[in-house]
Structure 1
Amino acid sequence: MKTLFGATVVVMGLWMGSTAGAQVACPQAKPSPLDGLWEHLGSEDGAATTKRWSEDLDGDGKVDKLEGAVDGGSGYSSATLTVRLATGESFSVQSGGSHEAIWNLEAVPDVLVRRPRLRKNVEAILFRVCPKAEGSFRRLRVQPRGAPLRWEKGKPTPATSYTIYQDDPKIIERMYGVARDWEQFRGRKEPPKAFWISYGGANHHATERCAFQALETKGDLELLQTRHGVLLYDRAKDQHAWLWVFGGGHKLRYPSAIAAEFDDKGVAVTYRVRNRECRTTVDLGTGEFSPAQCVAGAGLSRGQAPARLTDTCF
Structure 2
Amino acid sequence: MSGPGRLALVVGSGDLVPQAIAAARDAGWEVRVLALHPREDLAAEQPFQIKVSRPDQVLREIRRFKATHVCAVGAMHMSDRERESFAQFAGEQQPESKGDGKLSQLGSALLRMLGLPFIGVHEIVADLLAPEGPFGAVPIEGDLLRTAEFAVSTARKAGALDLGQALVVAGGRVIATEDIGGTDELLMRCRVYRDRGLIGDGHGYIVLGKTSKPDQPLHIDLPAVGIRTVELAREAGISAIAIEAGRTLVIGRAEMVAAADAAGIALIGFAIPNG
Q: TM-score, normalising length from structure 1?
A: 0.25
Q: Which has the larger radius of gyration?
A: 1
Higher normalized helix content (fraction of residues): 2
TM-score of the superposed pair, with normalisation by structure 2: 0.27
